[in-house]
Amino acid sequence: MDLQMYHKFNTKTKAIYVFVLSFCFILISLTTSAQEKTYTVVLDAGHGGHDPGKVGYKKFKEKDIALKITLEVGKQLEKNKEIKVIYTRKTDVFVDLYKRGKIANKADADLFVSIHCNAHNTNAYGSETYVLGLHANKRNFDVAKAENSVILLEDNYQENYKGFDPNSPESVIGLTLMQEEYLDQSLQLASIIQSKFSTTLKRKNRGVKQAGFVVLHHTYMPSVLIETGFITNVTEANYLNSKNGQSKFAKTIAEGIGKYLMQLELNTVEDIVIIDEVKVDENIIFKVQLASGPKKIETKSYNFKGLKGIERVKVGAYYKYYFGGTSNFSTVKECQKRAVKKGYSSAFIVAFKNGEKISVKKALKTP
Ligand SMILES: [Zn+2]
């Protein structure tokens, strides 16, 4: 190899080295930045593009107000270094409902929060938050129907929603099964947000509700749909359309999400006391809740990933499945760890005193 050739070879090798090295560097920095964020929250601004959503007082459009609030919620959440925010839309574009869920599933998100505005032909006002489920009454069905009718504007909707008819109350039933596993957590988030709406924001609390929303059906994580307020009510419409109102709604929603994630981190207990200091009280039984849903499942271990001693309790229209009943909190913590290891990643501890459900916090403080 003459000197010139050697030099050429050397430069080429160097270039390859530099290329490989920088590639590695990019990879490393990508993995570390992904690792830094503990939680991923998908924010979904309802409607968009050729779908204005509801049109209210002074022709205020739901899609515009929902987007503004959603972007602001994201801004607030991003202040927390632990939270990564993904939007289903950041501009005035139309996104198919099933694609919104896909975005969240692909991101393996911890939460899916869909933001909307309500409308009614009366002077109704106030905020309500929905989780996926069977509508308890016509009013809940109507809210879901209005939100679901969006799919009629999509191409190939019959194919993508497998014959689902947004106008038929019966057509909704099949939708609820997918979210079963996340119902408790979705309810928890929904009630935190609703209570913040009434206490912090002084909105009328219309409550946590269930109905068959298509957009919630496609996600594999706790999911809620917020109807911030009514754009058909003059006072509320003006508030929702104002910068002040939007930023206050956004701040409250972001705080609610933050509180939920914090509770999740602490296994739904606000402040777990040093466990060993707690005296064992025979009247109190701790259990690990594995799942809940409308399906009645045989409590055989093969139905519960090999876990034995499963207990099934009917609460209203739902069945709750518990594992590891004990008066000893350290023992139940171990049971929870086992359940998580078996794949029940969202298994959490519940407490009962003389058969009545109480908060774990209260159970631990009982002398
Ligand atoms: Zn909507």
116 CA from centroid of ligand 1 (Å): 4
Separation of alpha carbons 95 and 342, rounded Å:
36
**Helices 243-265 and 234-241: angle between axes, nearest 10 degrees:** 80
Question: How far does residue 64's CA lie from ligand 1's centre (Å)?
Answer: 11
User: Domain boundary residue among 265, 290, 324?
Assistant: 265
Distance CA 77, CA 31 (A): 21
- Both 84 and 231 in one domain: the answer is yes
User: Considering the domain boundaries, does residue 8 fall inside one?
Assistant: no
220-267: per-residue pLDDT in tens?
A: 899 999 999 999 999 999 999 999 999 999 999 999 999 999 887 765
222 in the same domain as 96: yes
- Dihedral sign computed on CA atoms, order 61, 66, 71, 75: positive
Task: Indicate if 293 and 156 belong to the same structural domain.
Answer: no
Q: Are residues 200 and 321 in the same domain?
A: no
Say if 70 falls within a structural domain. yes
Distance from Cα 226 to the centre of ligand 1, integer Å: 9
335 and 216, same domain (yes or no):
no
Residues 70 and 191 in one domain: yes
Look at residues 265, 284, 313 and tell me which one is the last residue of a structural domain: 265
Residue span of the structural domain in which 196 resides: 37-265
Ligand 1 center to 159 CA (angstroms): 22
Is residue 259 assigned to a domain?
Answer: yes
Q: Looking at the structure, do residues 294 and 224 belong to the same domain, yes or no? A: no
Alpha-carbon dihedral 353, 355, 360, 365, rounded to 10 degrees? 0
Query: Separation of 260 CA from ligand 1 center, angstroms?
Result: 23
Which residues surround the ion ligand 1 when the cut-off is CB under 5 Å? 46, 53, 116, 147
In this structure, are strands 205-211 and 311-315 parallel, antiparallel, or unpaired? unpaired
The amino acid that residue 239 corresponds to is Y
9 inside domain: no
- Tell whether 175 and 113 lie within a shared domain: yes
The residue from 265, 292, 322 where one domain ends is 265
Q: How far is ligand 1, taken at its centre, from the CA of residue 261, in Å?
A: 25
pLDDT tens track, the chain, 367 positions = 444 444 444 544 544 444 444 444 444 444 444 445 789 999 999 999 999 999 999 999 999 999 999 999 999 999 999 899 999 999 999 999 999 999 999 998 999 999 999 999 999 999 999 998 877 788 888 998 998 888 888 888 878 887 788 888 777 656 656 677 788 889 999 999 999 999 999 999 999 998 888 888 888 899 999 999 999 999 999 999 999 999 999 999 999 999 999 887 765 433 333 333 345 678 889 999 998 888 888 888 778 887 888 899 888 778 889 998 888 888 888 888 888 888 888 889 999 988 888 888 888 876 6
Per DSSP, the three-state class of 236 is helix
**Domain identity same for 250 and 283:** no
Give the domain CATH number at 358. 3.30.70.1070
For 261-300, what is each residue's pLDDT tens digit?
988 776 543 333 333 334 567 888 999 999 888 888 888 8
CA distance to 44, 75, 113, 186, 342, per residue, from 183 (Å): 19, 27, 14, 5, 20
- Check which CATH number belongs to the domain holding 153 and give it: 3.40.630.40
Q: How many helices (H) and strands (E) does the chain have?
A: 11, 11
**Same domain, residue pair 251 and 349:** no
Q: Any idea what the Cα angle at residue 110 is, between residues 340 and 272, rounded to 5°?
A: 55
| Residue 31 forms part of a structural domain | no
β-strand 318-326 against 284-293: which pairing, if any?
antiparallel
Instruction: Measure the CA–CA gap between 217 and 172, rounded to whole angstroms.
Output: 10
pLDDT tens, residue by residue, 177-195: 667 778 888 999 999 999 9
Domain count, the chain: 2
